[in-house]
Amino acid sequence: MGFSTRPRILVTAGRGREADEYCEALREAGADPLLIAPGEPAPELTDVGGLVLTGGGDVDPALYGGELELAKGVDGDRDKLERLLLREAREQRMPTLCICRGLQIANVAFGGSLIGDIPASDSPATAIPHAPLGPNGAPRRDVIDEHIVRIAPGSLLARTAQTLNLATGSRHHQAAGRCADDLRVVASTDDGVIEALEAKFENPFWLAVQWHPESTRDLDAGASRAIFGGFVRAAVRPCVRPGGASGGATSAVPR
């Protein structure tokens, strides 16, 4: 089936959490977001053009053999919902964008693991801030000059953001550990923290980023807007359905 030039995008969010920035970014890029929260029935994906997984609390450590005491804000219903949607979207080759926690649950859903707490891990100590606080004691939502993401040449992210070195925001205490076999690492900071994953399986646009492009659309010379724009353009096109008609099916930025 085809989609209109304004595709509907299914957006997951935590129970009672705001998702305004994500929805604004999608509308700005030309899409109509449809929000779903934990505990609600999983919708049919045939009526939407893409899937966005947003930030929030930690993934249940029991899903990847992690330590429960390091986790904050675990919601088993959300984990279950997003794992189901990720697998169904993969089967339908649906464009997918995963942000912050979204990257983490995607890595776990496909068999990877997480670092339960970056400060408590064995990662090399560096001056790179991953969860800096602002003057008011709240997590910073702007671009952090010292937080430079190194992007793999030729990756979907590099082609979309049009750069190999990107200063981003950062507000997370966890990160991807062992990368799932069906995903690949395409960006990291200099301390080895994974900042972006892409799919090895066939999909018009599948990208997971650890930072928050929805918060930095006016701050990074267009890279954040390009991520949402590339995703939405891919979602306009009909996806390849098993046994059905096909659209684009390569990991290329739609033109």
Q: Catalytic annotation on 212? A: yes
Residues of the chain with pLDDT under 70: 1-4, 121-127, 237-255
pTM of the predicted model as reported, rounded to 2 decimal places: 0.88
Pick the catalytic residue: 100, 130, 172, 239? 100
Q: Running DSSP on this structure, what letter comes out for residue 175?
A: E
Check if 100 is active-site.
yes
* 98 in catalytic set: no
Q: Domains in the chain, please, with CATH? A: 8-236 (3.40.50.880)
What element of type H or E holds 176? strand 175-176
pLDDT in tens, 140-198: 877 888 899 999 999 999 999 999 999 998 888 889 999 999 999 999 999 899 999 99
Residues 83, 109 contacting (CB under 8 angstroms): yes
* Whole-Å CA distances, 115 to 29, 46, 147, 247: 32, 34, 18, 37
- The C-alpha torsion from 149 through 153 and 155 to 156, rounded to 10°, is 80
